[in-house]
Structure 1
Amino acid sequence: MTLQFSDALASTSLPVPSRLEAFIAANSFDRPTLVMDGDLVAHQFQALQAGLGRAHIHYAIKANPTREIIERLVHLGSSFDAASRGEIELCLSLGADPSKISFGNTIKRASDIAFAHSVGITLFSVDAEEELHKIAAHAPGAQVYIRLIVKASEADWPLSRKFGCDRDMALGLLQMARDLGLDPVGFSFHVGSQTRKAEMWAPTLDEMVRIWTAAQDAGFALELLNIGGGFPAFHGEAIDAPTDYAARVMELVTARFGDVPRIMAEPGRGLVAEAGVIVSEVLLVSRKSDRDMHRWVYLDIGRFSGLAETEGEAIRYQFTTDKDGGAVGPCILAGPSCDSADVLYEKRPVNMPMTLSAGDRVLIRNTGAYTSSYSSVGFNGFPPLDVVVI
């Protein structure tokens, strides 16, 4: 399909943060590499915590599990949202206290529940009857929170019906948890990844507070509200500063839920994305015919080596090159693998320099989240995304 120039996304003219820029300029890279600035992660953590106030950050490890990042967050006093035994072991190995780790995946192996219980983890997420039975059998007396399904989401990357349950089932699970000897402490939800404006939380919060109130009316003394993630990073559209954004979210939460004793938040993208830049290289620039309006630019990184979130073109990464400043034109961006699905942006091509050619360096900005953790072990023999933390 032929697109007009007005549909193309211009590459950003914003500078890469100076410490990252200096490190990248001073080094060569023979493979795609994610360069993370640990100081920027720390700054973002403190900025989000300032806005969240009494809500405790449980970093969503899946966003970026790099050891140096986890260790830095441990030292900052962060708590953690773990999805697996591997993530739990990672946090414990770097000094995290088990009391600051929640097992937030609603789909858990029984032996992993038993492991978590054995190392002192007491807080588990659940959205199904069978999961409650597993937890009761392998983590007796544990605290559980029920994950609610979210139907109203304005996020760029809404979560599917894979997670959560509806109102009636949630109330039933609270009672079942109590009957099984567990401690049902509250609810969790996720508004959807990359919710760019705090006001976009309002429909979800309105939906969630009705269930919260119904549970209280049914006699459950709820004490924990887990508001999940959704905190955004800059991917081409304006977002509020992290402290302002988080503070506004908390205003919306407090206006509906009042003085909840315990509030958790699980930022992932919003905490680490803007602290990372991927250094990549152009492998080929071509056209499919003499009449083709768009160039094809093939990078040495694609969907299978870290850029999985280009699926559906929902996340719009920003690019800078050494040839910025001259004439630009629309390009279809693709990865290097022998898979026809390995195309990054085609519906809305990216404006890139007309002089771009094989061997040129391309920096992909704000890629500290969901890149290294999505990278394959080596599809087609291409190396997985390397990570350097400065």
Structure 2
Amino acid sequence: MRRSSSKSRIEQGQLTPKLQKFLAESKDRDPFLVVDVDVVEQNYRELRRLLPHARVYYAIKANPAPEILRRLRSLGSNFDTASAGEIEQCLSLGITPDRISFGNTIKKKRDIAWAFDKGVRLYAFDSLCELEKLAEVAPGSQVFCRVLMECEGAEWPLSRKFGCAPHMAADLLVKARALGLDPYGISFHVGSQQTDLNQWDKAVAQVSQMFTVLQQHDVELRMVNLGGGFPARYRSDVPMLEAYAQAIGNAMTKHFGNNLPDMIIEPGRGLVGDAGVIQAEVVLISEKDYGDDRRWVYLDIGKFSGLAETMDEAIKYRIVTPHDGGPTGPVALAGPSCDSADILYEKTDYHLPLALRVGDKVQILSTGAYTTTYSSVGFNGFPPLKSYCI
């Protein structure tokens, strides 16, 4: 099947015609994000084609723009939510509660009760305390337990904070049934921007063993939530989406045979990351000493205005300038705020054109995910990151 031209352009570091036109015509003086919602749709359709047996629950936290949610709603997507606020947003857009998962394992009891009252019946947990809250205020609901993963190979790991040890998860799922809940399945997340396809095989092998253990306790699990991990296109090469789908499909058939359970995937970055681009401006170019070969390039966007995933230089964005193709030199990149932590890249080897000047507009590619939602309300008086969906 031939790829769509828009998706191919994004993967090659080019912008779709819609994005090019919008950027060329923009009069904005502050940095902004623009998302081509058609690319989001293409990514969703491709994922459904490659993993037809998996139900998609879009991780709203990646980008909750109403235009994106409406498009995915019309395509039949389900939605993974992390808070009562995200659930409220879904309901306000006509998304029915049977298409919503309350996937955060850290929830206030009153928020669980509110969600249950609104009709949400699918909940995540990873501790006895959370399970007891669910049993008390969401009786009879389907629940799934998240297990710990090492997240090796992920550029944005999710280990330690979420999940519990497999043997504890098994005990909790037995307990869930005793408390009147429906122990539906097990979830895991191999880490955001996962680059090691073997991680799904390791995770599914562990989960299948838990299915067997729980059968011995007369608990018939029926679902595996494979989480996210699907990539956007940053600086490093990553496998194509087909390779991810094949790795997941192979792991499930290898460890479950023909008796496949229900499958859920929770893409966020993989759906919206490549659909967006941030336009920013060069504010200052300086050196730290005479004869210093490396320039410091300061942009009008930084860690506190949308680029939080540059923390520890984890996510390495591609940057396009009006002078690409000419001679380049090494740079450190930083944001505009009066905070010494607001350095984007100092250790990573970035080179930008020597012709770069103050006032030049630059594009930061594949920024459709985890940018607007990380932007501060007004640190140092800078406004939150503006967003457009086209």
TM-score normalized by the length of structure 1: 0.94
Partner of 2:132: 133
- Secondary structure at the residue paired with 1:194? strand
Conservation of the 8 A alpha-carbon contact between 1:53 and 1:247: no
Residues in 2 aligned to 1:261 and 1:210: alpha-carbon distance in whole angstroms: 13
Q: Which moved more, 1:305-314 or 1:232-241?
A: 232-241
Percent identity over paired residues = 50
Cα separation, 1, equivalents of 2:312 and 2:233: 18
Per the alignment, do residues 197 and 166 of structure 1 end up closer, same or farther by CA in structure 2, a change over 3 Å counting?
closer
What SS is found at the alignment partner of 1:209?
helix
Written as runs of structure 1 = structure 2, the 5 A alignment for 1:234-253 is: 234-253=233-252
Matched, 1:373 2:373: yes
Give distance in 2, aligned partners of 1:300 and 1:43.
31
Correspondence 1:389 to 2:379: no
Residues 199 and 249 in structure 1, CA contact (< 8 A), matched pair in contact too: no
Q: Deviations over 1:143-170 (max 9, x none)?
A: 1101101135321222121100112211
Check the 8 A contact 1:284/1:358 in 2, yes or no. Answer: yes
- What does 1:25-104 align with in structure 2 at a 5 Å threshold? 25-104=24-103
1:137 deviates by 1.1
Equivalent position of 1:356 in the other structure:
356
Change in CA separation of 1:55 and 1:203 when aligned onto 2, cut-off 3 Å: same
CA contact under 8 A between 1:281 and 1:359: conserved in structure 2? yes
Q: Distance in 2 between matches of 1:14 and 1:202?
A: 30
Specify whether residues 22 and 201 from structure 1 end up closer, same or farther in structure 2 by C-alpha distance, changes over 3 A only. same
Distance 1:84 1:20 in 2: 31
Distance 2:212 2:283 in 1: 57
Report the counterpart of residue 294 of structure 1 in structure 2.
294
Q: Can you list the C-alpha shifts for 1:323-380, whole angstroms capped at 9, x where unaligned?
A: 1121111110000111100000011131111011210001000000010111111111
Secondary structure of the equivalent of 2:372?
Answer: coil
Q: Is the 8 A contact 2:156 2:191 kept in 1?
A: yes
Unaligned runs of 5+ in 1: 1-11
Closer, same or farther: CA 138–333 of 1 in aligned 2, 3 Å: same
Give the 4+ runs in structure 1 shifted more than 6 A: none
Give the drift of 1:255: 1.7
For these two proteins, the number of residue pairs brought into alignment is: 379
| Distance in 1 (alpha carbons) for counterparts of 2:345 and 2:121 | 43
Deviation at 1:36, TM superposition (A): 0.3
**Equivalent position amino acid for 2:279 in 1:** V
Contact 2:44/2:271 (8 A) holds in 1: yes
CA displacement, residues 284-306 of structure 1 (integer Å, 9 cap, x when unaligned): 00001113221000000000110
Rounded to whole Å, the distance in 1 between the matches of 2:152 and 2:221 is 24
1:274 corresponds in structure 2 to: 274
Q: 1:68 to 1:218 in 2, by over 3 A?
A: same
Higher relative contact order (CA 8 A, sep 6+): 1
Paired with 1:205 and 1:152, the residues of 2 have a C-alpha distance of: 13
Contact 2:154–2:190 under 8 Å retained in 1: yes
Deviation at 1:198, TM superposition (A): 2.9
TM-score (norm 2): 0.94
Structure 2 counterpart SS, 1:42: helix
The residue type equivalent to 1:295 in the other structure is: R
- Structure 2 regions of 5+ residues with no counterpart? 1-10
Amino acid corresponding to residue 329 of structure 2 in structure 1 = G
Evaluate the alpha carbon distance shift between residue 270 and residue 52 of structure 1 in structure 2; reply closer, same or farther with a 3 A threshold: same
Counterparts of 2:13 and 2:151, CA distance in 1: 33
Write out aligned runs for 1:1-390 (5 A). Answer: 14-151=13-150, 153-258=152-257, 259-390=259-390
Distance 1:240 1:315 in 2: 16
C-alpha contact 1:232 1:270 (8 A) present in aligned 2? yes
For 1:70-122, what per-residue CA distance to the aligned partner results, in whole angstroms no more than 9, with x for missing partners?
Answer: 11111111000000000001111111111110000000011110111011100
CA distance in 1 between counterparts of 2:256 and 2:376 reads 41
Question: In 1, Cα distance between the equivalents of 2:166 and 2:12?
Answer: 46
Partner of 1:4 in structure 2? Answer: none
Aligned-residue offset at 1:248 = 3.3
| Aligned mates of 2:243, 2:269 — CA distance in 1 | 17
Q: Distance in 2 between matches of 1:19 and 1:247?
A: 32
Q: 1:152 to 1:378 in 2, by over 3 A?
A: closer
Tell me: CA distance 1:208–1:293, structure 2 relative to 1, closer, same or farther (3 Å).
Answer: farther
Q: Work out the CA distance in 2 between the residues paired with 1:166 and 1:317.
A: 34
SS in 2 for 1:285: strand
**RMSD of aligned Cα (Å):** 1.5
Q: 1:152–1:204: 8 Å Cα contact kept in structure 2?
A: no
Query: Structure 1: which amino acid aligns with 2:217?
Result: A
**Worse-matched range after superposition: 94-103 or 150-159:** 150-159
